[in-house]
A = this chain, B = another copy of it.
Amino acid sequence: MDYQAILNVIQKEFSPHEDMGKVAGYIPELEKVDPLKFGVYLYCQDGSSFQFGDSQEKFSIQSISKVFTLTIAKELLGRDLWKRVDVEPSGTPFNSLTELERESGVPRNPFINAGSIVVADALLTVLENPERDLLKFVRKLCGDDDIFYDESIYKSEKSHGYRNKALVNYMKSLGNIENDTEKVLEFYFYQCSLAMNCEQLSKAFMLFANEGLHFQTGEKVIDKQSVKRVNSIMQTCGFYDEAGEFSFRVGLPGKSGVGGGIVAVHPEKYAVAVWSPMLNEKGNSALGMKVLERLTTLTGFSIF
């Protein structure tokens, strides 16, 4: 498979223009990003890699971080985690309170905001310094220490995160938050404000394309069963209220963030990260969705 040729086709076919969507506007800091940024990085199981555009420029990974925290929490808590968060797709937007009320404070899955906040709370309970441990874990996955959180994003999230404050307090009132709500949110905003580039993201996600082994060292980070589970949750819940559409069009497990990033995984083949900050109305990168659809069409294989 000549991946570079395919990426070249894609780069030629899709160039970003401003009416493709809108840069995330719910926090001022995110609005400042150049909407025309566009990059792709694809890392293969055999160690080869392919890229174009702004693949080396860091951006706010936002909800993509939910995959990292879920992975750590699953390792540390095992099955107990599923008592506090379900694994079913949600029929409502990522920050909805309605479904949470119907389900008595147990979020539908770990990728809607409420679910990831529960995961953050669970990590706060078992880790002494969750911020440090998360950063260490992500750096290790990428084999790259040049990863930091973006303080201006963090502060912007914190001073505008009323919806997330509502979610954590609501779950606290129903007994599904163990720690101080402010502390939980601080860690949650920290994870969302990690900044990474497409290369780092695709390398980190090789874990899920490589049976749980580190892409470089071959070290076993998580077991195959965990890979299966995280991939399965990405497949059914990775794109908020558009999970079915992504599964339908792209046919790969993946996760998006409102920073405009999407990472997708072809088990036993590759991990790929796309970045284009213009979002469609469901909050996923509009161009990112198209690129990945074209990629699986041109390569001729999805998981289905």
Q: Which residues of A contact B (CB under 8 A)?
A: 86-92, 96-102, 108-109, 162-163, 165-167, 169-170, 172-173, 181, 224, 227-229, 231-233, 235-237, 241-245, 247-248, 251, 253, 267, 300, 302-304
User: Contact at A302–B88, with CB atoms within 8 Å?
Assistant: no
Beyond A91-B91, A98-B101, whether A244 also contacts B162 by CB under 8 A is no
Nearest-neighbor residue (CB-CB) of A26 within chain B: B173
Indicate which residue in B87, B88, B247 contacts A91 across the interface (CB closer than 8 Å). Answer: B88
Q: Are B89 and A243 in contact (CB under 8 A)?
A: yes
Interface secondary structure of A, over-half rule: helix
Question: In whole Å, how far is A269's beta carbon from the nearest beta carbon of chain B?
Answer: 12
User: A227 CA to B253 CA in the complex, in Å?
Assistant: 17
* Given A166-B173, A170-B97, A172-B162, A235 contacting B88 (CB threshold 8 A): no
B residues in contact with A235, CB < 8 Å = 235-236, 247, 304
Q: Are A108 and B91 in contact (CB under 8 A)?
A: yes
Q: Point out which of A92, A167, A228, A229 has the most chain B C-beta atoms below 10 A from its C-beta.
A: A228
8 example contacts (A-B, Cβ-Cβ < 8 A) are as follows A87-B245, A87-B248, A89-B91, A90-B91, A165-B165, A228-B251, A228-B302, A233-B244
Q: How far is the CB of A163 from chain B (nearest CB, A)?
A: 4
Rounded to whole angstroms, the CA-CA distance of A89 and B87 in the bound complex is: 12
16 more contacts with CB within 8 A, not counting A231-B304, A232-B302, A236-B236, are A86-B244, A87-B248, A89-B244, A96-B101, A162-B181, A163-B169, A163-B173, A166-B170, A169-B169, A229-B248, A232-B248, A232-B304, A235-B235, A236-B247, A253-B304, A303-B303
